[in-house]
Structure 1
Amino acid sequence: MRFVVDMNLSPEWVHPLAEQGHVTIHWRDVGAVDALDDDILIWAAEDDRIVLTPDLDFGVAARGLKAPSVVQLRLDNLDPLVVGTSVVQSIAAAGEAVVGGAILTIEPGQTRLRPGLGTIAIDG
C-alpha cells in the first residue's frame, strides 16, 4: 500500500509503515505545511495514496469519494514508537479492504472499517 502521513503526525510515522513494505512519505516532503484537507485528499487520490491522520475532518471530507482511503488514528498517544506496531497490525488486518475510498478508524481496543455506507468491525 502507499501512504501519505498528514502534517498533524510526526514524520517518524513513515518508519513503521515502510518497515512493513508500505511506500510511505510525509506530507511535508510533498506539499505545503498549511495545505487544506481537501488539497491533501486530492493529491493523495491522484498519487494513489492512503492518508494517515489523527484529523477527524478527513473522514468527513472523504465520504463519498472513491479514493483516497483514510486511516484515522483516534488514539491518546500518537507516538509511533508506542503505538506504531498496533497501528500497522490494524492496517494489515483490514487488508485490501482499506483501499478504494475506505475509512479505517483505529481507536483504543477497536478498529472500524467503513468501505462506503455502513460500518464493519474488524477487531475489538
Structure 2
Amino acid sequence: MTLRRVIDVNLSPEWVPVLTEAGFDTVHWTQVGDPSASDRVIMGWAAANGDVVFSHDLDFSTMLALTHASGPSLVQLRGSKVLPE
C-alpha cells in the first residue's frame, strides 16, 4: 500500500512536484478539496483516504493529541523557510 501525502493549504503547491519526483504520491489540498476547508475537514478527509498530512500548521498535531486519534499520520514542517528550495 502506498501512502499518499496531502499538502495542507498553508504550504505552497510547489511541494507537489518536489515530493512526487522524490517518489511520493502527493496532492495539494486545493486539488482535492475546498481551499477554505477547516483543518478538521482536512484531517477527516486524510484519515478516510489513508493519506498523510504534510503541513506547517501546529493545529494538526494538537488535534491528534487532544483527540487521541490514531491517524492520519502527519509530517510537520517547522522552520522559517517553508518553500521547497
Q: In structure 1, what is the Cα distance between the partners aligned to 2:17 and 2:64?
A: 25
**Structure 1: 5+ residue runs without aligned partners?**
82-124
The match for 2:52 is 50
> Contact 1:9–1:53 at 8 Å: present in 2 too?
yes
Q: Given the alignment, which residue of 25, 28, 37 partners 1:23?
A: 25
RMSD value over aligned CA atoms?
0.9
Amino acid in the other structure paired with 1:22? F
Q: Deviations over 1:57-98 (max 9, x none)?
A: 1100122111101111111101102xxxxxxxxxxxxxxxxx
Q: Deviations over 1:22-62 (max 9, x none)?
A: 11000001111111111000000111110001001110012
Amino acid in the other structure paired with 2:51? R
Question: After the TM superposition, which residues 7-18 of structure 1 pair with which residues of structure 2 at under 5 Å, given as runs?
Answer: 7-18=9-20
Tell me whether 1:75 sits opposite 2:55 in the alignment: no
**Structure 2: 5+ residue runs without aligned partners?**
none
Tell me whether 1:33 sits opposite 2:38 in the alignment: no
> Contact 1:62–1:70 at 8 Å: present in 2 too?
no
Q: How many equivalent residue pairs?
A: 81
Moved >2 Å (runs of 4+): none
Amino acid in the other structure paired with 1:70? L
Higher percent of residues as strand: 1
Q: In structure 1, what is the Cα distance between the partners aligned to 2:63 and 2:17?
A: 26
TM-score by length of 2: 0.89
Over the matched positions of the two proteins, sequence identity in percent amounts to 44
